[in-house]
Amino acid sequence: MNALIRDNISAMNGYVPGEQPKEVKVVKLNTNESPYPPSPKVAEAITKIVATDRLRKYPDPLGSEFRHSAARVLNVPAENIIIGNGSDDILTIITRAAVGEGGTIVSPTPSYILYKTLADIQGANFVQVPFSNSWELPDPWPHPEAQLTFVPNPNSPSGTVVSLKSLRKLAQQLTGLLVIDEAYVDFAKESALSLLDLPNVVITRTMSKSYGLAGLRFGFGIADGELISQFQKVKDSYNCDVLSIAGATAAIEDQQYLQRTIQSINQTKIRLSKEMIELGFDVTPSETNFVWCRRSDIPLKPIYEELKALGILVRYMRYDGYGDGLRVSVGTDEEIDYFVSHLKHVMGRELVQQR
Ligand SMILES: *Cc1c(COP(=O)(O)O)cnc(C)c1O
């Protein structure tokens, strides 16, 4: 233990994000980035800022420009939106505002592992509630007393969704906040925005996945205006910079471009799912830009490793009490063809070894 650091920090494992290789030749299907560039309007907006003397001054702390654009697109009041340096920043702000040391944070499992890191930093207890076999939430919910409950919807790594009806039921049972993490909602059939009539619901969104802006770092939260003003007290004053606010605003304004991107990704996803099923994987129907692939006849870790050696990165994930799987992000059609043809070779070798 390090005497200079709080015990819970010394004791915890830090969050380990998916690998970000330096080599450009890697086919990267491991962290659910968009395979397509962002709207060209993003570069235009950023270039315009750089050409003025705007960088010399501090950014707008509340990101009013972005809030107004997002409010118009989502049909919610601008006062109900908070901006963040990625949606992970929003998740951190909410946690710091709602949960003290010794408090409780709950999330279903298997799901996004950052929630545990947030609990560890806070010195809070972290409780995991298993999803049912068909990826539903238990009802009644076993931990209504938690200060904070995170539900990613659609979920990662499964790509599945729970119904708005069961989310509403959950929110009504909870005495604390329910955060619905909608990082992948643009690929899904419906969003939980209609649940914002409930005073304890917060929805988080990111520009990292569907908008192709993971490198820009921009996310936002939507909730009751009173909750949002409490969250504003917790965030860094200037958590988003001038360039990211301008870029994110241009991106959310270009809904036509977003819809085209989503359509391409959803089409490629259908093809990828079919190929994986033909190769003998159990593929969970996905409302995201990735597919969750499992099988029990051969070990999956060596497949992940062999693909990696060939310059193809997918995400190998294993959860206590559940097992493992490969999470494959939907790339371009060319990337998916390349991935599938190499996977066929790897699988051939693995299946021979097995006999
Ligand atoms: C990617 C992801 C995020 C974080 O997105 P950033 O905006 O890049 O911080 C949050 N939640 C889930 C479930 C994600 O998959």
pLDDT in tens, 84-106: 999 999 999 999 999 999 999 99
Ligand 1 atom 5, closest CA:
87
User: Which two three-digit tokens encode residue 80?
Assistant: 């109900």
Task: Name the pTM for this structure.
Answer: 0.96
Q: How far apart are CA 178 and CA 194, in angstroms?
A: 14
Q: How far is the CA of 183 from the centre of ligand 1 (A)?
A: 5
pLDDT at 355: 63
Instruction: Identify the pLDDT of residue 302.
Output: 96
Q: What is the pLDDT of residues 256-266, one digit of tens each?
A: 999 999 999 99
In the chain, alpha helices (H): 7-11, 40-51, 64-74, 87-98, 114-122, 164-173, 225-234, 242-253, 255-278, 301-309, 333-354
The answer to whether 302 touches 326, Cβ cutoff 8 Å, is no
Could you read off the pLDDT of 212-236 as tens digits, one per residue? 999 999 999 999 999 999 999 999 9
Query: Residue 353's pLDDT is what?
Result: 73
**In this structure, which amino acid lies at residue 146?**
A
Ligand 1 binding pocket (C-beta < 6 A) is: 86-88, 112, 152, 156, 181, 183, 206, 208, 214, 219
Cα–ligand 1 centroid distance for 350 (angstroms)? 33
DSSP character for 73? H
Instruction: Dump pLDDT digits (tens) for 157-213.
Output: 999 999 999 999 999 999 999 999 999 999 999 999 999 999 999 999 999 999 999
Atom of ligand 1 nearest to the CA of 88: 9
Best residue among 82, 87, 218 to mutate for probing ligand 1's pocket (most ligand atoms within 8 Å of CB) is 87
> What mean pLDDT do residues 315-323 have?
95
User: What share of the chain in percent tops pLDDT 90?
Assistant: 92
pLDDT higher than threshold 80 for residue 22: no
**Among 13-22, 98-107, 241-250, 288-297, which stretch is predicted with the lowest mean pLDDT?**
13-22
Residue 74 pLDDT greater than 90, yes or no: yes
Assign 3-state DSSP to the chain and report helix, strand, coil percentages, each to 5: 45, 15, 40
